[in-house]
Structure 1
C-alpha cells in the first residue's frame, strides 16, 4: 500500500521538487479543550467530525503515515476504524509542536523523517499544499519549512489576526509579524485603504521539519520575539534556524476556530 501511494504521489508532483518516494508523515495536533470552540476536533461538519476531514486531506496528500496527537480519549475513539494512527499525549502541552514532539517519541520516527504539522482545524487544506511544504523542506535543506500566499487587500494586511511575513531572496523567512510588513513608507503615508505596488505575503500555518529538529525546537525556551508577537515560529528564527517559505500551489480556505467559522465551513461543504 505504501509503495502504491508513493508512486501516485510522485506522479502528482511533476511541477515541484521531488521527495524520495514522497516519504513524509503528517501529524495533526488535536486538543479537545479549544477555548473558542470547545470540543472542536469532534464538532460535526457534514455529519463527520472535523478531525476526520483533516485526516482525509492528509491521506489524499500521499503521506506515508497520518497521525493524530491528542489528549482526549473521545478523539481517539472517533478515529477508530480509520487508517489514522493515534498518539495519546499529555494534556499539559503549551503548543502543537510540543504535542507533536511527544507524538514522534511515541511513534518512534527516525531523526531524518519529514513530518508535516497540519493544524486540526483545516478541513479544506489542499493536498497539493500539504505536499508542497514537505517538498520545500527537502529541497531547501532548512530546519523548517512553511507556506505563504499573497495578501489580497489592505484590510487583511492591517488585521493583527492575519500573520504576515517577509522573505529573503533565497526564499527563507526573514520575519513573521502581526503588523503589516514590509511597511511601505510613502504608500501608507498617503493611503492605508489600498495596497501600494509590491507583494505582501500572508503566512499559512502549516509546517514541515525533520523529527530530530522537531525535538530540538520543542526543547527551546520561548524567545522574546515569540512572546511579543505570540508567534511560535519566531522562536526558531530568533535561535538562528532557517525557515524556508514556499508559495502555496493552491489556496488554503479559512480554518475553523469559532462557531461562525464552523457555520461557514458547513455552507462551503454544501456548496452554498
Structure 2
C-alpha cells in the first residue's frame, strides 16, 4: 500500500518525493521499489509531526516553502487529487491546503471512519474549513463531504503546527487538523471528483484491494 501511494505521489509531478517512516521494513520496501525513504523518530503523535522532522532532515536549508503530506492510507489517490491540495495556497492567508469529496454512498454518511469536512465557500472556487468531525455533519438537507487526509503546508505553518500541544478537540475527535483550527490557522479545501477511500479498517482494505484489481 505504501509503495502504491509513493507511485501516485511521484506521478503527480509536484517535486521531490520521500517516504517518512520509523520502520525499517517499510523503508526497505520503498527503496526496493526505487523510492527514497527517511527514518524518523518513533514518538510522533501525528503524521504532520513526522513530516516536519523529515522535511528538516531532507531540506535543512529550507529551499522548499511548501511541504505536502500524503498519508500512506490512500492507495487509490489520483495524481490530480494530490495536486489539488496545493490550490488553496494561492490565497496568502491560507496556512494549509487540503481536499474533500462528496459522499455519494448513503452507507458512509454516518460512518465515523469517513471524516466529514464542514466548510463554507471562500469566494475563490474552494472552501474555508470551519470544522472536521467523525459525526454526520452538518445537519439538514444538502451534501456531505468526506475529508481526504492530504495536507499542503506552508513551511512556516508546519513549523508552527508541530510546536503546538495536541488540542482538546484534536484529542477528542482523533483528528490532527483540529489542532491547527483551534490555534486560529486557516485551512482551505479543494473539492475533487474522485473518492479515494482511506484504509482505516480491514473492511476498507478489502474494498481497496477489490477496487485496485479493476484498474
CA shift in 2, pair 1:237/1:76, >3 Å: same
In the alignment, structure 1 residue 130 sits paired with structure 2 residue 82: yes
Match of 2:196 among 253, 256, 271: 253
Q: Alpha-carbon deviation of 1:94? A: 1.5
**Alignment TM-score, normalising by the size of structure 1:** 0.71
Could you tell me which runs of 5 or more consecutive residues in structure 2 were left unpaired when the two chains were aligned. Answer: none
* Residue of structure 1 equivalent to 2:139: 183
Match of 2:66 among 98, 114, 122: 114
Which segment is superposed worse, 134-143 or 87-96? 134-143
Paired positions, count: 210
The 4+ residue runs of structure 1 with deviation greater than 4 A are none
* Paired residues of 1:147 and 1:245 also in contact (CA < 8 A): yes
* Residue of structure 2 equivalent to 1:230: 174
CA shift in 2, pair 1:201/1:269, >3 Å: closer
Could you tell me which runs of 5 or more consecutive residues in structure 1 were left unpaired when the two chains were aligned. Answer: 1-49, 185-195
Between the aligned partners of 1:162 and 1:264, the Cα distance in structure 2 is 14
Between the aligned partners of 1:177 and 1:265, the Cα distance in structure 2 is 23
SS of corresponding position for 1:181: coil
Match of 2:143 among 189, 199, 211: 199
Q: Alpha-carbon deviation of 1:156? A: 2.2
Mapping for residues 81-230 of structure 1, pairs under 5 Å:
82-108=33-59, 110=62, 113-139=65-91, 141-170=93-122, 171-184=127-140, 196=141, 198-230=142-174
* Residue of structure 2 equivalent to 1:72: 23
The structure having more radius of gyration, on CA atoms, is 1
Between the aligned partners of 1:73 and 1:151, the Cα distance in structure 2 is 36
SS of corresponding position for 1:79: helix
CA shift in 2, pair 1:202/1:259, >3 Å: closer
Between the aligned partners of 1:259 and 1:199, the Cα distance in structure 2 is 27
Q: Alpha-carbon deviation of 1:139? A: 4.3
Between the aligned partners of 1:153 and 1:82, the Cα distance in structure 2 is 35
* Paired residues of 2:148 and 2:196 also in contact (CA < 8 A): no
CA shift in 2, pair 1:201/1:79, >3 Å: closer
**Alignment TM-score, normalising by the size of structure 2:** 0.88
Which segment is superposed worse, 54-63 or 156-165? 156-165
CA shift in 2, pair 1:252/1:83, >3 Å: farther
* Residue of structure 2 equivalent to 1:265: 208
* Paired residues of 1:126 and 1:252 also in contact (CA < 8 A): no
* Paired residues of 2:85 and 2:97 also in contact (CA < 8 A): yes
* Paired residues of 1:145 and 1:208 also in contact (CA < 8 A): yes
* Paired residues of 1:111 and 1:212 also in contact (CA < 8 A): no
SS of corresponding position for 2:85: helix
* Paired residues of 2:88 and 2:97 also in contact (CA < 8 A): yes
